[in-house]
């Protein structure tokens, strides 16, 4: 009987997201922040959403865009592992007068080549592992200042093949839906300088779980609730120099609930997606491998803070800070970034500096290319 070991996949996928909540979900690659601009600002973008990557951050932002764009992001993923993993994100938008802006994306995570063995360790061949999703998004205005957005994506996850403990291993697939909103103020004056304020939220990846084996067990999608604000202000009266402050707060809407009573052998069951949307706002217990701990609602929240400076919409400098509680993933890092625009072309760069030594995400670099069809 063929035997496929999942330990390597857990080691690769677990650092992508939080341990406490996302560790119980499938396809955490859906939460990898795709564009270098927002990642350079501490993973904040839900209230900005003014380019093609609004499809990820807040599809309602498409309603305020009147141009067509194509953007490509590439990153060598988890460089500390030196495992030749990579992540690609291709996104495009198309504006139709009288209808609005429609967006589409393809997300691809290459997990490399794996070895298949039997019970004795004899190699039986090799196989490739990867995950991919593709979808469409649309935003529409309800007023000059307020818009709603939605999106749908098909998800395909091929981690392994063969069988484990008599269970056949198959690729998993599912459908995820996004629901979003964005509010933008009219320009107002602060100290004789023009300013704007935005607020937004996005509930992404709502959908049925993914099944990898021929039993009834399904792993939930990483449904994410994200809300935030952004404040943009001119630093001079002619608007050549601008500064944007942003803040995102996010939470995974997936939950394991304890069903066993044995304190030495706790058992957990995954909530359904719609049940978790309403019942994952309180504290919960989880077994961390050593003991059962209680994770409060405040500890489940993830915080991103960003700062962006633009000169004449030609050159940008960015920085940010991201924090997760130690009981909820323990990711903490500083981000740096820069951007250039010339005519219809743009390039953005971001760098992630982790505050924890030897973290798998340390020194992650993202590079995004943008073409703006006016």
For the purposes of burial, counting CB atoms within 10 Å of the CB of 80, is it exposed (0-12), middle (13-18) or buried (19 or more)? middle
Using one digit for the tens of pLDDT, what is the confidence trace for 299-348? 999 999 999 999 999 999 999 999 998 888 888 999 999 999 999 999 99
CA-based torsion, 8, 12, 13, 14: positive or negative:
positive
pLDDT on residue 147: 96
Are 151 and 55 contacting, i.e. CB atoms less than 8 angstroms apart? yes
CA 301 → CA 56, 325, 331, 333, distances in Å?
Answer: 19, 8, 12, 15
Contacts of 99 (CB under 8 A, 6+ apart): none
| pLDDT of the chain, 374 residues: tens digit per residue | 333 334 334 334 444 433 334 456 889 899 999 989 999 999 999 999 999 999 999 999 999 998 899 999 998 887 766 667 899 999 999 988 888 899 999 999 998 877 776 666 667 667 788 999 999 999 999 999 999 999 999 999 988 776 666 677 788 999 999 999 999 999 999 988 999 999 999 999 999 988 887 666 778 899 999 999 999 999 998 889 999 999 999 999 987 666 666 656 656 667 778 888 888 888 887 766 677 788 899 999 999 999 999 999 999 999 999 999 888 888 899 999 999 999 999 999 999 999 887 778 888 899 999 999 86
Q: Tell me yes or no: is domain 7-373 CATH 3.40.640.10.
A: no
Q: Where are the domains of the chain?
A: 7-373
CA 371 → CA 51, 243, 342, 344, distances in Å?
Answer: 11, 23, 10, 6
Q: What is the pTM of this model?
A: 0.87
pLDDT on residue 67: 87
| Cα–Cα distance measured from residue 129 to residue 29, given in angstroms and rounded to the nearest whole number | 13
Q: What is the 3-state secondary structure (H, E, C) of the chain?
A: CCECCCHHHHHHHHHHCCCCCHHHCCCHHHHCCCCHHHHCCCCCCCCCCCCCCHHHHCHHHHHHCCCEEEEEEEEEECHHHCCCEEEEEEEEEEEECCCEEEEEEEEEEEEEEEEEECCCCCEEEEEEEEEEEEEEEEEEECCCCEEEEEEEEEEEEECCCCEECCEEECCEEEEEEEEEEEEECCCEEECCEEEEEEEEEEEEEECCCECCECCCCCECCCCEEEEEEEEEEECCCCCCEEEEEEEEEEEECCCEEECCCCCCCCCEEECCHHHHHHHCCCCEEEECCCCEEEECHHHHCEEEEEEEEEECCCEEEEEEEEECCHHHCCCEEEEEEEEEEECCEEEEEEEEEECCCCCCCCCCEEEEEEEEEC
The phi-psi region of residue 326 (left if phi > 0; otherwise alpha if psi is between -120 and 50; otherwise beta) is alpha
């Amino acid at each position: 009987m063929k035997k496929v070991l999942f330990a390597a996949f857990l080691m690769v996928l677990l650092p992508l997201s939080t341990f406490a909540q996302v560790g119980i979900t499938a396809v955490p690659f859906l939460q990898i922040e795709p564009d270098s601009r927002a990642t350079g600002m501490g993973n904040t973008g839900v209230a900005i959403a003014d380019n093609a990557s609004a499809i990820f951050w807040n599809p309602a932002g498409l309603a305020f865009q009147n141009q067509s764009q194509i953007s490509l992001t590439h990153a060598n993923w988890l460089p500390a592992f030196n495992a030749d993993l990579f992540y690609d994100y291709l996104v495009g938008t198309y504006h139709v007068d009288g209808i609005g802006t429609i967006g589409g994306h393809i997300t691809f995570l290459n997990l490399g080549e794996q070895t298949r063995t039997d019970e004795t360790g004899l190699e039986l061949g090799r196989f490739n592992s990867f995950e991919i999703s593709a979808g469409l998004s649309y935003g529409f205005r309800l007023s000059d200042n307020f818009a709603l957005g939605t999106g749908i994506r098909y998800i395909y996850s091929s981690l392994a093949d063969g069988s484990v403990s008599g269970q056949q291993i198959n690729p998993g697939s599912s459908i995820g839906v996004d629901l979003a909103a964005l509010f933008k103020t009219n320009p107002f004056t602060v100290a004789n300088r023009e300013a704007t304020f935005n607020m937004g939220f996005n509930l992404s990846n709502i959908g049925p779980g993914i099944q990898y084996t021929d039993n009834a067990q399904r792993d939930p999608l990483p449904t994410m609730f994200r809300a935030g604000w952004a404040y943009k202000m001119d630093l001079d009266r002619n608007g050549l120099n601008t500064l944007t402050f942003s803040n995102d707060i996010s939470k995974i809407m997936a939950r394991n609930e304890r069903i066993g009573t044995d304190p030495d052998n706790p058992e957990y069951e995954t909530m359904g997606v719609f049940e978790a949307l309403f019942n994952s706002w309180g504290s919960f217990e989880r077994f961390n491998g050593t003991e059962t701990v209680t994770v409060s609602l405040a500890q489940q929240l993830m915080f991103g803070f960003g700062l962006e400076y633009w000169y004449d919409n030609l050159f940008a400098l960015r920085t940010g800070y991201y924090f997760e509680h130690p009981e909820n993933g323990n990711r903490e890092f500083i981000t740096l970034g820069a951007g250039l625009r010339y005519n219809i072309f743009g390039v953005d760069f971001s760098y992630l500096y982790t505050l924890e030594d030897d973290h798998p995400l340390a020194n992650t670099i993202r590079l995004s290319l943008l073409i703006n069809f006016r």
